Structure 1
């Protein structure tokens, strides 16, 4: 008789192409996971994966079995998770990992509508990933997607970055792209980090090379960068959603070369094993809804 857990292990192996990675997501030992697969293959009477040096490749029988099983297993897990969440009062709290800027712009406006308690941790993208991997948070809002087994992402929105300069900045008219690049290189740049993450992407996209600049100020806060620009400290690249907020109006800044924007996805990350948790899905739906002014 087939054990239901064999099916769950098979689905995990199929998704990760690896027994070891599937074992991590299911919080099992690798030998136990291998035994589940061996038992299921014995029951089916056919090999479900072809084993290579680097990963497991599903056979035609494996693909067929997965297509039949996956919808049913996911449906059962969703219903089971729903029952657990309704029965457990501890699940009325969601732990969020994000940056201060994303919390201010994308979470704070929705707090009054949330039907659960929240605990928020601030950090950079790599720190947030570690918090999620260690189960110290349930969900993260991040701008970087790491290919980590057992962690999935959904796209919340696309953010656009544009050059922002002090309002008294005189911008010449340029006939050639190289003259524009030269002028930008001469400006006093403020960066979020020493590695120039968005600035480097901007240069690559529009000038087809890396920027030859050293930031005069490194400020790991986009809100503070905008204030510094308003004080005349330099120029930077900032997301347009920040500039559209009422709080940003009249701040002594202006956008430059509005037609030249770089795009970046804002993501919500969570563990695969929690993808059907009601509190996770309700949170995603909540912050995805546009808050009317």
Structure 2
């Protein structure tokens, strides 16, 4: 008779491609995890993984079994989480993750409306997902959707990114894309990161190529970038919601037609989907953004 825990261990090994990493995730010893897999393979009658020095590679039988078993394991884990949640007192603390600039402009003014206590975490989309996976946060707002087991996404809104320059700068009308690119390439730029993450997105969407620019300043903070733009250091690309609270004459948008839009999502663990406090926070944020 197959033990349900063998299936759970199999699913974790499949997702992590590693017995040791799966054991850590399940708070088990590696020998116990290996025994679960060996017992399941014995019942199935054939190997479910090919063991290599670096990772466990699922066999065709392993892939088929995973497609059949994973949804059932997730459903039972969700049911267990729902039963546990309904039997516990209301959750008093919700851990929220976001980019710091979005949090400051959009989330911070709403904290009093959430009706619960909160702990805030800041970081890039990649880092936020990492801490969501290990339950260091309950809810994140992210611009990227990574397909991860047990993580769900709901669209929140769209944000617009525009090129900004010091208000006193003059720029040519440049009626063609080629003329616009020529002038923009001649300017100095302030980047959010060494790989020009925000600028690169606009450049590829509008000019269909990777930007080659002079970027003497790299600052991973959009508020500081705006301040440096105001001081005349160069151009940058920022979300337009930052301009809503900027003082008149602060900066100007250059070539509005080059602006791009980006989607933002809520992301949370499937097991937390029906926690009332998380649902309330998402409802409040949606109503005000």
TM range (shorter): 0.7 to 0.9
Structure 1 match to 2:213: 212
Residue in structure 2 matched with residue 56 of structure 1 by the alignment:
57
What is the CA–CA distance in structure 2 between the aligned matches of 1:290 and 1:268, rounded to whole Å? 10
Question: Which stretch has the larger CA shift, 221-230 or 27-36?
Answer: 221-230
Unaligned runs of 5+ in 2: none
Among candidates 234, 248, 251, match of residue 250 of structure 1: 248
- Change in CA separation of 1:153 and 1:77 when aligned onto 2, cut-off 3 Å: closer
- Indicate how the Cα distance of structure 1 residues 195 and 161 shifts in structure 2: closer, same or farther if over 3 A, else same: same
- Residue 46 (structure 2) aligns with: 47
> Which residue in the other structure is 1:291 paired with?
287
**Pairwise CA RMSD:** 3.7
Are the aligned partners of 1:268 and 1:284 in contact in 2 as well (CA < 8 Å)? Answer: no
Change (3 A) 1:281 1:214: farther
| Aligned counterparts of 1:52 and 1:177: Cα–Cα separation in 2 | 53
Q: Which residue of 2 aligns with 1:222?
A: 222
1:134 Cα deviation after fit: 6.4
Q: Deviations over 1:126-154 (max 9, x none)?
A: 6656655765444444456789x878463
Displacement of 1:76 in angstroms is 2.0
- Give the CA deviation at 1:95: 2.0
- In the alignment of these two chains, the number of paired residues is 284
> Deviation string for 1:248-269 (max 9, x for gaps)?
4735333222222345554555
CA gap 1:99/1:239 in 2 versus in 1, 3 angstroms? same
- Hey, what does 1:31 align to over in structure 2? 31
User: Is residue 154 from structure 1 mapped to residue 153 from structure 2 by the alignment?
Assistant: yes
Q: CA deviation at 1:10?
A: 2.2
Q: Which moved more, 1:45-54 or 1:138-147?
A: 138-147
* Contact 2:91–2:277, Cα closer than 8 Å, also in 1: no
**2:79 matches 1:83:** no
